[in-house]
Amino acid sequence: MRKSFFAALATVVLTGGALVGTALPAQADAPTTLYVRQNSATGCSDQFPGTLAQPFCTISAAAAVVTAGQSVDVGGGNYRERVTIPTSGTPEQPVTFFASSGATLIGATAGFVIDGQHDVVLQNLRANGSASALPGLDLRNSSRITIEGGTFAMDTSSTAPAVQLVGVTTSTLRRFTVSGSTLTAGVTIDAASSDVLIKSANVSSSTAYQTPTGSVGVQVDGPRVSILDSRVSGFTGAAVAIGVGAVDTVVANNQIDGGRGHGVHNNGGTGTAIANNTIKDRCRDGIRVDGASSGVSVQNNVLFTNGFFSQGYCDPAFLDGVEIGVYGGAVGKTVVDYNNAHHYYGNSPQIYAWNTRMSLVAFRAASGQAAHDRETGQAGYNIDSANSAAPGYPTLDRAGSPRIDDPSMPNTGAGPVPYADRGAVETVRAPVVSFDVVLNLQAQSVTVDASASTPGLNPIASYSFSFGDGSVVTQTSPIASHTYANPDRYQITVTVTGTDGRSAAHNRLITVLRPTGTVGLRALSNRRYVSYQSGFGLRPNQAEPTTIAQFDLADAGNGRVALFSRTAGRYVAVSQFDLATLTADSMVVDVREMFTLVRNSDGTISLQAPVTSQYVTADSSGALAMSASRPTIGTWEKFLLVVVPDANRSLKALVNGRFVSADGAGTKPLIASAATASSWERFDVVDLGNGQVGLLTRVNNHFVSADGAGSKPLIANAPTASTWERFTMVRNSDGTVSFKAGINNKYVSADGAGSKPLIASGPVVSTWEKFTLG
């Protein structure tokens, strides 16, 4: 024990005034932090001093010795205890408990109790699984209590609220979570409690759509309680209930969703401000004001699909719910204005109540209220349209963002900030990304056009294009092109960024296949080429393989092919809606875009869709859209595969400069005798597979045949392509072509230097066996 001043003075006198032997040892300062650990390397003990090297094992041991200005650092782990904090701090030196990692109280009585204390702080502590009538957080007869973070989860057998305040004043509960599948109440604040702030909380009952009856998310019975920036879900009585003893309650910036009960129920509270909340999917009233309520303001709220609007969890016994309802003694004592309430995108009957359910128009007439209420599902009508002079109006939104004037929207609000938004969130429009992709299979390239993107609150500053193969281009212009090195499936992502830094992104999958050629499909049913036109689908209605009737044929793997419409820039696909109709609207090759190409014995092809196992059919009139709907192959399911560059071509014999003619409109042998190319001199080169082609004469739609197995002159008299009608087209180095007959492996020759009919008799390619395609 240190000497008193007078004892020290006596010592000086007795020693003749000389201070000898009076120096005292320095006293150690009390530690600022006590430690609780369960997995310390040196072990733990409730008899230890609570240092980091020698920590307590339980939180209760630290609570028993902590003093004002000290903190208790609780390490991660499960603590099977109920902690009572018996010590107070001061405003300048509170008693603080915090979890440095996940620390959780568990067990049937898990929870924290603060009774008769002040200036105590709990940070990020959790209580999980209380199964008794004891709350997870029990605050009583205390003041200046701060709860920051943490979770309080109740067992299904519990009958207590997760968080209970009894006689608590001037306290704040912030960023905490309450949960329990059968909670009777999430947070209760009794009539003896006052000046309590609930902020940024998450209170939910995951299956409380059913039980217990009358459960409440947050119950307020005392004066001057504020519930701000929180989310409340579930509960059968109400998400937020405000009772008779509640005075000047503020419920603002909250998101309240799905549950069997009301959203906000003010039952007798006076001076309540219900402002800027977003309330949806409640089975009963979104906001209900009744009983002895007076001086209640309901403004700037956004409500939709409340009041038993097709929710499967609602009780059919309650069919009287509305978006906003004022009943009983609250009629004439409640202000309703600047809300946006709706059931869906059009006007809705009976979504308000003034003692009885009615429309917005009738509510205005009956109450004299809601002059600025809106009834629309369009979020744009919430922008810059709130009343900033409304009681409880929050200057920041639920996310803590300031109010922002959107220059694209008129300022239709009221008060000092006429551009505040309705609902819990201030809409700060980001850019909206919209882009189109033009795919070129021949070039293995894409052009991405994001010109349709729209700016957000500020102009667009840049466009970033990620092409899915590691290539990224960022630029100020909205169009970019890219060439791929390899066939594959790629994801293209376009990110648009405004001058304010806000951005948005959108992506789209594409498939890049390597084409084997550009073809026309000439339907055997009417000898017309298949075309694709938007709105009309695929139809055999073109005389020539013009652009709308041209398709890139590509290998889709597994023995299947894909057809890419050159005019649409999309793959042909079986419609996802009826699994039959063909469209050309797909950028990705999957099973709907794949076809099995069947080579028929007559030189035609058929296309079978694996997704339906049906064959593609084309009616003879060309008036009906094509579909993959036939189980077997008939005439309507057969097509001639014409190589587009070699369609409607002429053949000029090199030996005499004359055009090959299907003489006599095909009734006579072919001969190189025509000075000009007319209809008798026109041919389509048909792909017959295996590197072979057929020559289809335009004049009679018959195949050229190496008659007599090649021993007779060529004549266009075969309706189908069999063995005698098959040729290999050889492209010579001088730009000419030659044709080798498959039947005898001889080359077609302009016999007699063109003076005689063509015959497959040339053993090698010489001048007589060369032709120019025109």
| pLDDT tens digits, 338-349 | 999 988 755 567
325: left (phi over 0), alpha (psi -120 to 50) or beta: beta
Q: Which two tokens stand for residue 650?
A: 């002429």
Distances (CA, A) of 763 to 376, 639, 745: 83, 33, 8
Share of the chain above pLDDT 70, in %: 94
Q: Which residues contact 73 (CB under 8 A, 6 or more apart)?
A: 33, 34, 35, 36, 98, 100
**Smallest Cα–Cα separation from 135: which of 98, 107, 110?**
110
The CATH code of domain 439-509 reads 2.60.40.10
Distance CA 401, CA 425 (A): 8
Residue 579: per-residue pLDDT: 73
Amino acid 206: pLDDT: 66
Distance CA(507)–CA(644), nearest Å, equals 34
Task: Say which range, 180-184, 365-369, 401-405, 590-594, has the weakest mean pLDDT.
Answer: 180-184
Structure confidence at residue 133 as a pLDDT band (50, 70, 90): confident
* Residue 211, C-beta contacts closer than 8 angstroms, at least 6 positions apart: 182, 236
**What stretch of H or E contains 289?**
strand 287-290
Distance CA 154, CA 524 (A): 74
The yes-or-no verdict on residue 317 having pLDDT over 70 is: no
User: Any residues with CB less than 8 A from the CB of 65 and at least 6 apart, and which?
Assistant: 34, 50
Query: Between residues 101 and 107, which one has the greater pLDDT?
Result: 107
Rg (CA), the chain: 42
Picking from 131-145, 242-256, 343-357, 653-667, which range would have the lowest pLDDT averaged per residue? 343-357
Read off the pLDDT of residues 216-232 as tens digits, 9 standing for 90 and up.
999 999 999 999 999 99
Question: What average pLDDT score do residues 1-8 get?
Answer: 31
d(CA 478, CA 448): 8
* Peptide bond before residue 645 is cis, with ω within 30 degrees of 0: no
Contact status, residue 588 vs residue 582, Cβ threshold 8 Å: no
- What proportion of the chain, given as a percentage, has pLDDT over 90? 80
The CB density around residue 301, as the number of other CB atoms within 10 Å, is 32
Residue 252 is predicted with a pLDDT of 98
Contact 158, 133 (CB under 8 A): yes
Written out in words, the top-level CATH class of the domain with range 30-179 is: mainly beta
Please say whether the dihedral angle defined by the alpha carbons of residues 400, 406, 412 and 416, taken in this order, is positive or negative.
positive
Structure-block tokens of residue 560: 């299947």
Q: Kindly tell me the burial class for residue 772, based on how many C-beta atoms sit within 10 Å of its own C-beta (0-12, 13-18, 19 or more).
A: middle
Is there a contact between 180 and 161 (Cβ–Cβ < 8 Å)? no
Average of per-residue pLDDT across 108-117 = 96
Q: Do the bridges between strand 273-275 and strand 560-565 make them parallel or antiparallel, or are there none, so unpaired?
A: unpaired
pLDDT at 457: 86
**Bridge partners for 203 per DSSP:** 178, 232
**CA–CA distance, 142 with 146 (Å, rounded to integer):** 11
Measure the CA–CA gap between 265 and 242, rounded to whole angstroms: 6
The CATH number of domain 515-641 is 2.80.10.50: yes
Which distant-in-sequence residues (6+ apart) come within 8 Å of 703 by Cβ?
603, 686, 694, 695, 696, 697, 716, 718, 719, 720, 721, 725
Average confidence (pLDDT) over 533-548: 91
Residues 6+ apart with CB under 8 A from 532: 538, 548, 549, 565, 567, 568, 572, 584
How many other C-beta atoms are found inside a 10 Å radius of the C-beta of residue 80?
12
Extract the tokens encoding 493: 């992502």
CA distances from residue 236 to 186, 285, 314 in whole angstroms, order as listed = 12, 12, 10
Q: Looking at residues 293-314, what average pLDDT do you find?
A: 88
Residue 547 pLDDT: 92
The span from the CA of 9 to the CA of 25, in Å, is 19
Instruction: Return the closest-CA partner of residue 548 out of 560, 537, 562.
Output: 537
User: pLDDT of 712-767, one tens digit each?
Assistant: 999 999 999 999 999 999 999 999 999 999 999 999 999 898 899 999 999 999 99
Q: How confident is the model at residue 12 (pLDDT cuts 50, 70, 90)?
A: very low
pLDDT score of 379 more than 70: yes
Res 180: pLDDT: 87
Residues 766 and 347: their CA atoms lie apart, in Å, by 83
Give me the torsion for CA of 713, 715, 721, 725, rounded to 10°: 20
Say how many Å lie between the first and final Cα of the chain, rounded.
120
* Cα atoms found within 13 Å of the Cα of residue 362, Cβ hemisphere only: 15
Closest Cα partner for 730 from 768, 703, 702, 691?
691
- Tokens found for residue 690: 């295996």
What is the rounded average pLDDT for all residues in the chain? 91
Bridge partners (DSSP) listed for residue 453: none
- 11 pLDDT tier (thresholds 50, 70, 90): very low
pLDDT band at 19 (very low <50, low <70, confident <90, very high): very low
List of residues 6+ apart from 368 with CB closer than 8 A: none
Tell me how far apart the alpha carbons of residues 186 and 216 are, in angstroms, rounded to a whole number.
Answer: 7
The answer to whether 691 and 706 have CB atoms below 8 angstroms apart is: no
- The residue ranges of DSSP E strands in 558-682, in sequence order, are 560-565, 570-574, 582-586, 596-599, 605-609, 614-617, 627-630, 639-643, 651-653, 659-662, 670-674
Closest to 289 in 3D by CA, of 201, 363, 194, 206: 363
648-773 CATH choice from 2.80.10.50, 2.60.40.420, 3.40.140.10, 2.60.40.10:
2.80.10.50
- As a whole number of angstroms, the distance between CA 732 and CA 770 comes to 8
pLDDT in tens, 156-187: 878 899 999 999 999 999 999 999 888 899 99
Torsion sign over Cα 329, 332, 337, 343:
positive
pLDDT band at 25 (very low <50, low <70, confident <90, very high): very low
The widest CA-to-CA distance across the chain, in whole angstroms, is 154
The residue type of 366 is: A
- For position 31, what pLDDT does the model report? 87
Does residue 82 surpass a pLDDT of 80?
Answer: yes
Residue given tokens 């050309």 in the structure block:
584
Give the separation between CA 684 and CA 527, rounded to whole angstroms: 12
Q: What are phi and psi of 685, to 5 degrees?
A: -90, 115
Q: Does 290 have pLDDT greater than 50? A: yes
Q: Is 95 helix (H, G, I), strand (E, B) or coil?
A: strand
Region 429-458: mean pLDDT is 94
Q: Which of 414, 352, 428 is nearest to 383 (CA)?
A: 428
Q: How far apart are CA 98 and CA 74, in angstroms?
A: 6
Residue of higher predicted confidence among 537 and 318: 537
